[in-house]
Amino acid sequence: MSSILDRFRLDGKVAVVTGASRGLGAAMAQALAEAGADLLLVARGDMSELQKSIAALGRRSVTLAADVGSVAAAGKIVAAAYEAFGRADILVNNAGIIRRGPVLEFSEQDWSDVLNVNLNGAFRLSQRFAVELVQRKLPGKIINIASMLSFQGGLRVVSYTASKSALAGLTRAMANELAPHGINVNALAPGYMATDNTEAIRADAARNKSILERIPAGRWGTAADLQGAAVFLSSPASDYMHGHILAVDGGWLAR
């Protein structure tokens, strides 16, 4: 007789994780491997240590250097997964960039660059990933990495906010059409996490203090805080979840 914990296992599954070289992406990839999945790790940074960690778990991983924002990337990434493993069951759209600046001076380049990676790249890859599943009549999981700025406006991050708000809408729209095919499309919305993207904010004593005062948990989140939620949304335990934006935020939105 199987237990509820068995429904969180990913044995025999293959996960594609973009932005996997560091931070949240590396932590989620590690968690999926611990749950039993093999990995296609997509990033332009060094992933050798992550690969060693995955191998130590008895899982396989393949790396691919790709610019997620390029039009050709989606086909290249999905093809690489099928070539290496013969399947692709889980997609984690984690790759993202941020540009900061006042809205009155925000450049066209910074607007376009962020939207292209965070939104266009995620859409193209999700679409290509889903096409393959539907053609093969197989179920699958798509997990977008949203943000607190999928719900709020933020300051000096207009293109990032636009991209993450749109990504939440994309999650719901794709869920509506793909649920009948057995494909779950959901999103994780990390709260204020201690990553490279927030280093400047954490270094600003006043800004850091104001953020911590609003987080009921009283601390910045860590990459490890996303691991359980990532495994859940990748696993059979979440089979009846479609179009949900799951906040992992230390209570930020509740405040």
- Residues designated catalytic: 160
End-to-end CA distance of the chain, in Å? 42
Question: Measured between alpha carbons, how far is 148 from 255 in angstroms, rounded to an integer?
Answer: 12
Q: Which long-range contacts (CB under 8 A, 24 or more apart) does 215-220 make?
A: 215/191, 215/249, 215/250, 215/251, 215/252, 215/255, 216/250, 216/251, 216/252, 216/254, 216/255, 217/250, 217/251, 218/250, 219/250, 220/192, 220/193, 220/194
* CA distance linking residue 248 with residue 94, whole number of Å: 15
Per-residue H/E/C for 39-95: EEEECCCCCHHHHHHHHHCCCCEEEECCCCCCCCHHHHHHHHHHHHHCCCCEEEECC
Instruction: Centre a 10 Å sphere on the Cβ of residue 179 and count the other Cβ atoms it contains.
Output: 15
Long-range contacts of the stretch 80-87 (C-beta < 8 A, 24+): 80/40, 81/14, 81/16, 81/40, 82/132, 84/40, 85/14, 85/38, 85/40, 85/60, 87/14, 87/138
Tokens describing residue 202: 């954490």
